[in-house]
């Protein structure tokens, strides 16, 4: 029997994704369940892909089992996956998340067919990106660092793990929110892809030193070579001055993606205020994160975190909500935060 969505999504998602949970809670009720459920499955897939106590080949096998379950549309396809992987989780919230996968499938099967199809498509895309992680990079304990080869590889990766989520988000809202009937669906899907890719690039830049420690460099090797750098050079914090011009170039590219996301946000009718805030918040928070990345003197130090404090997050929530009824006021707030993003070679 399917567990009620509110009982399933709230307790499971809040501990494993506090930032996304803010946007999920503000969404209109009709879209909250399919969006939240898709994110729950994506977090479960991410937990599978990141179970470091298992070899990458074993993680790929379990990831394939999850994909097969979606292709079959039945929880039976999971087999022993939840119990087998839960035993390897050190985070209690992630352990519970995996054990609840069969109940999540029950809720999934109770959704309308269109929502199920959209969730299946986005999960297959996201897990394709995780396949790329597990097949491209070495195991975490191998002591090697490998990089993606080209900017095209990076673009493909960010599409799979985040741009596809923007498409899904748009599809679900178009299906459930009559106020969006005037949208150009194809144009908004394209913007949504760039929106998602911009948020994923922010994660990549913020998490650069911790990813390097586990052998993953998302900065393409050809781009590094143009700056006379190798992926291994990024393991040395003293090389930040050499890396910074490349990082700032990526921040500029990311800001262009944000502008697409912001155009998407302002295209949301003001009466759809919940959706507008759910779109605005990650972009506004992301701008402050990008600013911290651009200014960080210790960006290559795995012990440092370019993360904005909780108080600053709450201030963004309040200030954006206060400007919600005016396109001009909301846009001015975005432009102000965007202009503050540090883009000069010498860190402040």
Q: What is the mean pLDDT of each run of 10 residues along the chain (348 residues)?
A: 55 68 83 91 89 84 87 71 73 81 87 95 96 92 93 98 97 96 96 98 96 95 96 95 95 98 97 95 96 94 86 94 94 97 73
Last residue of one domain, picked from the residues 87, 113, 136: 136
Last residue of one domain, picked from the residues 90, 110, 136: 136
Task: Say what the pLDDT of residue 62 is.
Answer: 85
For the purposes of burial, counting CB atoms within 10 Å of the CB of 41, is it exposed (0-12), middle (13-18) or buried (19 or more)?
A: buried
CATH number, domain of 327, equals 1.10.600.10
Task: Say what the pLDDT of residue 94 is.
Answer: 81
Task: Say what the pLDDT of residue 148 is.
Answer: 97
Q: How far is CA 84 from CA 12, 32, 59, 66, in A?
A: 19, 30, 11, 13
> Helices (DSSP H) in the chain: which residue ranges?
5-16, 18-26, 29-49, 56-72, 81-86, 92-99, 101-109, 113-136, 151-158, 164-176, 185-206, 208-213, 221-226, 240-266, 273-295, 310-322, 327-339
Same-domain check for residues 296 and 283: yes
CA distance 120 to 77: 14
Q: Would you say 277 and 321 are in contact if contact means Cβ atoms under 8 Å apart?
A: yes
Structural domain span for residue 292: 140-348
Same-domain check for residues 280 and 165: yes
Task: Say what the pLDDT of residue 299 is.
Answer: 92
Same-domain check for residues 104 and 144: no
- If you search the block for the tokens 């295209």, which residue do you land on? 267
Q: Which two tokens stand for residue 92?
A: 């209690």
CA of residue 238 relative to chain centroid, distance: 29
Q: Would you say 231 and 212 are in contact if contact means Cβ atoms under 8 Å apart?
A: yes
Same-domain check for residues 99 and 156: no
CA distance 317 to 181: 28
CA distance 32 to 53: 33
Same-domain check for residues 196 and 312: yes
Same-domain check for residues 153 and 73: no
Number of structural domains in the chain:
2
Same-domain check for residues 203 and 334: yes
Last residue of one domain, picked from the residues 106, 136, 166: 136
> Helices (DSSP H) in 177-239: which residue ranges?
185-206, 208-213, 221-226
């Amino acid at each position: 029997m399917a567990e009620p969505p509110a009982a399933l999504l709230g307790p499971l998602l809040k501990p494993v994704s506090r930032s996304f949970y803010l946007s999920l809670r503000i969404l209109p009720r009709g879209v909250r369940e399919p969006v939240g459920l898709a994110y729950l499955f994506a977090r479960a897939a991410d937990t599978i892909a990141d179970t470091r106590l298992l070899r990458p080949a074993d993680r790929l096998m379990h990831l394939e089992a999850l994909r097969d379950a979606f292709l079959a549309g039945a929880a039976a396809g999971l087999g022993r996956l939840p119990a087998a992987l839960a035993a390897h989780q050190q985070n209690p919230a992630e352990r519970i998340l995996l054990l609840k996968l069969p109940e999540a499938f029950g809720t999934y099967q109770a959704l309308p067919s269109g929502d199920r199809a959209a969730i299946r498509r986005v999960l297959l895309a996201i897990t394709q990106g995780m396949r790329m992680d597990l097949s491209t990079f070495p195991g975490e304990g191998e002591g090697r660092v490998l990089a993606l080869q080209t900017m095209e590889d990076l673009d493909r990766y960010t599409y799979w793990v985040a741009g596809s989520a923007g498409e899904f988000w748009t599809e679900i809202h178009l299906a459930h929110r009559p106020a969006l009937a005037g949208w150009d669906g194809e144009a908004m899907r394209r913007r949504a892809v760039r929106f998602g890719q911009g948020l994923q690039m922010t994660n990549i830049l913020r998490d650069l030193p911790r990813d390097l420690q586990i052998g993953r460099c998302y900065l393409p090797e050809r781009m590094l070579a143009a700056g006379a750098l190798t992926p291994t050079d990024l393991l040395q914090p003293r090389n930040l001055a050499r890396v910074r011009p490349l990082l700032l170039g990526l921040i500029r590219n990311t800001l262009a993606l944000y502008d697409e996301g912001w155009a998407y946000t302002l295209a949301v009718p003001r009466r759809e205020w919940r959706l507008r805030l759910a779109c605005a918040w990650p972009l506004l928070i992301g701008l402050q994160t990008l600013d911290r990345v651009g200014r960080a003197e210790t960006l290559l130090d795995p012990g440092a975190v370019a993360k904005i404090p909780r108080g600053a997050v709450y201030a963004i929530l309040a200030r954006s909500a206060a400007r919600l009824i005016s396109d001009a006021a909301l846009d001015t707030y975005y432009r102000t935060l965007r202009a503050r993003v540090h883009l000069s070679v010498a860190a402040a």
